Amino acid sequence: MRFSTPFFAAVAAFFAVGVQANPVAAPEANITARTTYFSGDATFYYPNGNPGACGAPMQNSDFIVALSSAHYHDGAHCWQHLNVNYNGNNIDVTIGDLCVGCATEQIDLSSGAFEALAPLDVGVIPVVWNFK
């Protein structure tokens, strides 16, 4: 079977139009579109080697976060990670505790994690965070 040059030109034009009509977003764009970001205050606490609500002892230097009951979900998120951003600085923290007194979007960081973002004497910082 022989195909003519006009046939190949028509097929090439068809595929070119098809690619332009169906753009595919970069993988990073898809991930960003599906990620929910939360804005709230971050405070800090001293775990002092005590077991958190997730059941394991935690140190002050560990990058640990305690979530409000609205996000803790009875421990469903234990040991998952959050990305926390403050003033362009990002840290990765592990969910290890429940913050009973926290507002819905508020998080409570271990003193070590908080210090990676701001001096402890600041006390409270506005952050943006998301589940990883």
pLDDT digits (tens), the chain, 132 positions? 454 555 445 545 444 444 443 444 444 444 445 689 999 999 999 999 999 999 999 999 999 999 999 999 999 999 999 999 999 999 999 999 999 999 999 999 999 999 999 999 999 999 999 999
125-131 and 81-86 strand pairing:
antiparallel
User: In degrees to the nearest 10, what's the CA dihedral of 76, 30, 63, 102?
Assistant: -60
What domains are defined for the chain? 36-131 (2.40.40.10)
Question: Which residues, 6+ apart, have CB-to-CB distance to 70 below 8 Å?
Answer: 104
Reported pTM? 0.73
Measure the CA–CA gap between 113 and 96, rounded to whole angstroms.
13
Cα of first residue to Cα of last residue in the chain, in angstroms, is 55
